[in-house]
């Protein structure tokens, strides 16, 4: 699938949260996996199978009301939409941030496809960037299970 982009002005953090969700779902082809927009800290969980169709990418974007002027972004190994819980958060600190402004308009640029998204915001005179998605491997993503234990010099299928 093609790489997409859009740009505009967000009125505040909540507005960018919705614009980012809409961009990833409607333009890039991600799936809205869980909608927590009615929660005290509104969030969306987006899922993608990647450009290859073999990935499982779960990204939660949250209007982090505890920390003003940011959208928290968490990646998960899996997200259970029935219980609204993520399994194995992937970032070492638990979350990364997209810089925003709650009290004023700001410019944004969104880029993405089924493998990843990149967000740029401009708050006053400073540009902030944020990446989420898969990291390209230096080895094949194709895996297999052998029929027996693998030892040096053995012929295992």
Whether residue 147 is predicted with pLDDT greater than 80 in this model: the reply is no
Q: What is the pLDDT of residue 134?
A: 85
- Mean pLDDT, range 116-123, rounded to an integer: 96
Q: What is the pLDDT of residue 16?
A: 97
Reported as a pLDDT band with limits 50, 70 and 90, residue 49 is very high
**Whole-angstrom Cα distance, residue 54 to residue 114?**
11
Strands 43-48 and 85-89: unpaired
Which residue is associated with the tokens 């990446």? 131
Reported as a pLDDT band with limits 50, 70 and 90, residue 142 is low
Q: Which of 59, 67, 74 is nearest to 99 (CA)?
A: 67
Contact 32, 25 (CB under 8 A): yes
Give ∠ CA 47-52-54 in degrees, rounded to 5. Answer: 60
Reported pTM:
0.84
Reported as a pLDDT band with limits 50, 70 and 90, residue 91 is confident
CA distances (Å), origin 120, targets 10, 99, 129: 12, 9, 4
What integer best gives the mean pLDDT of the chain?
Answer: 89
Buried b (16+ CB within 10 A) or exposed e, 70-99: bbbbbbbeebeeeeeebeeeeeeeebbbbb
Contact 112, 22 (CB under 8 A): no
Q: Which of 59, 38, 57, 68 is nearest to 119 (CA)?
A: 59
Q: What is the pLDDT of residue 54?
A: 87
Whether residue 70 is predicted with pLDDT greater than 90 in this model: the reply is yes
Helix (H, G, I), strand (E, B) or coil at 18: helix
User: Per residue in 15-48, pLDDT tens?
Assistant: 999 999 999 999 999 999 999 999 999 999 999 9
Q: What is the pLDDT of residue 145?
A: 65
Radius of gyration, alpha carbons of the chain? 18
Q: What is the pLDDT of residue 141?
A: 61
């Amino acid at each position: 699938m093609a790489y997409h982009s859009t740009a505009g002005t967000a009125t505040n953090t909540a507005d960018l949260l919705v614009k980012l969700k809409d961009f990833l779902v409607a333009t890039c082809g991600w799936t809205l996996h869980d909608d927590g927009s009615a929660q005290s800290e509104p969030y969306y969980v987006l899922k993608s199978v990647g450009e290859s169709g073999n990935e499982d990418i779960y990204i939660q974007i949250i209007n982090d009301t505890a920390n003003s002027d940011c959208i928290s972004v968490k990646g998960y190994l899996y997200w259970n939409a029935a219980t609204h819980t993520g399994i194995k958060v992937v970032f070492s600190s638990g979350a990364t941030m997209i810089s925003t402004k709650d009290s004023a308009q700001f410019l944004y640029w969104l880029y993405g496809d089924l493998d990843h998204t990149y967000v740029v915001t401009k708050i006053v005179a400073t540009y902030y960037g944020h990446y989420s998605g898969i990291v390209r491997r230096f080895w094949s993503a194709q895996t297999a299970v052998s029929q027996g234990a693998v030892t040096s010099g053995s012929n295992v299928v």
